Structure 1
């Protein structure tokens, strides 16, 4: 297995105002002179990460975050719910699962402990036999992997509509902070970045393996912002995603042009190419 790249590296970040704020300001100001209303929300995104070749390799070489639980990938700890609505949405899906879709449906019954538990005061999906209770194991007739994900595919809907928020967002990390401008006004900064080991808290450094910085997982056929387009649209909205995609496409076009038409890969510049991409391409 490839060697994981360092957590800290040179990155290219982009900030842009919420397009909906810009449109609203334009409509309010009309043809009036002056700078107009400032944006209430600004997106800050890691272009190096979002244009990387990362892809989830669960079921295709993923050894799992713990060596003693290779069959459940990163689903060993269960999923913490972000809010009540998150758990309620999953509960509606669980009501429609059956034994053909969910290997541990009996364990998820209330009399056997249910499918949720409380850890350090926070509600989450229950862990059973070293993995999330929804994680079907190899040998299950319907296949290994998340029962909620499988149900979504059977129903013909995007898995993000059935799975806990933290599950479908990984390995994208969304965070918020309030930033004060020099004139005393402030705005909400919404950051979209790589959910690296540090996103798991202090225990992230103890994981036996992790994917985002590992060349073994940087083998996607499309850049991340395209392979996870649905997730990004859900996280920041379609207007903001279109603006993000415009900048990502521009970056890819420029670096590929600089590399020359005979080169399929982007020019290997530290700021624009994820270190795991570079490491993967350097392998024989």
Structure 2
């Protein structure tokens, strides 16, 4: 079955954030109870056909803000040549891993090696830190590997956009007819549209592709750490209650169409 359409019936739930009465959480139950999982290295075709091994790391990652960049910088300084294929072999400088795009936004550096472009932290499939005779460790993110080596969750070491994808959090200020206001926080699927106009030109994309909807547990379970970071513990606990109720009662229309082929 090919990638499903971007528009299809979804079930959303809204509830007040138990930890902040000024926020209303608006959550896509159809997405959060889907069988999606990241299949990097397990069938991911990459967002561009000419870079199948780089997943969605082809362009580098834009920083959410200065705090995001500062946090990542602290972990970049801890990377060793054994963990990062493109380590400069000396004290790391910002020019080794940060660039500014055409719009003046700061992001991780994208480099081209053997005709394939990817984030500078993306270790290529031939990376063999033990020397030329060593067995390659395979492709993957150096910052992700650092987290695993240190017993951390990768959301601590990677840029925000990297660990959030393909969950998308957006904010909207809402003014009601009685003059009261609240902040609407939407937790939903980061589909092609989340990438901007260029998202429609990606050769392959995971969130709506049936090949990636193979997880034994739903997104709200497998991405507990990420959702807790995005929503807060109290709001996540409330989300779990709604997701469980949705799973017990959902109709066929409320199932993510990419997940309908899974058991």
Fold shared, TM-score > 0.5 on shorter chain: yes
Q: Secondary structure at the match of 2:207?
A: coil
Q: Distance in 2 between matches of 1:41 and 1:13?
A: 16
Q: Distance in 2 between matches of 1:107 and 1:131?
A: 20
Structure 1 runs (4+) greater than 4 angstroms displaced: 107-113
Q: What is the correspondence of 1:1-284 to structure 2 with a 5 Å cutoff?
A: 2-21=1-20, 39-106=21-88, 113-119=95-101, 120-129=103-112, 130-141=117-128, 142-255=137-250, 269-270=252-253, 272-278=254-260, 280-281=261-262
For normalisation by structure 2, the TM-score amounts to 0.91
Bigger Rg over Cα: 1
Offset at residue 76 of structure 1 (A)? 0.4
CA deviation vs aligned residue, 1:125-175 (integer Å, no higher than 9, x gap) = 000110000001112134311000000000001000000000000000000
Residues 173 and 109 of structure 1, relative CA distance in 2, 3 Å threshold: same
For normalisation by structure 1, the TM-score amounts to 0.85
Residues 108 and 253 of structure 1, relative CA distance in 2, 3 Å threshold: farther
Q: Secondary structure at the match of 2:170?
A: strand
Q: Secondary structure at the match of 1:151?
A: helix
Quote the residue 2:133 is aligned against.
none
Offset at residue 112 of structure 1 (A)? 10
Residues 252 and 132 of structure 1, relative CA distance in 2, 3 Å threshold: same
Alignment gaps of 5+ in structure 2: 129-136
Q: Which has the higher helix share?
A: 1
Offset at residue 56 of structure 1 (A)? 0.3
Residues 207 and 108 of structure 1, relative CA distance in 2, 3 Å threshold: farther
Alignment gaps of 5+ in structure 1: 22-38, 256-266
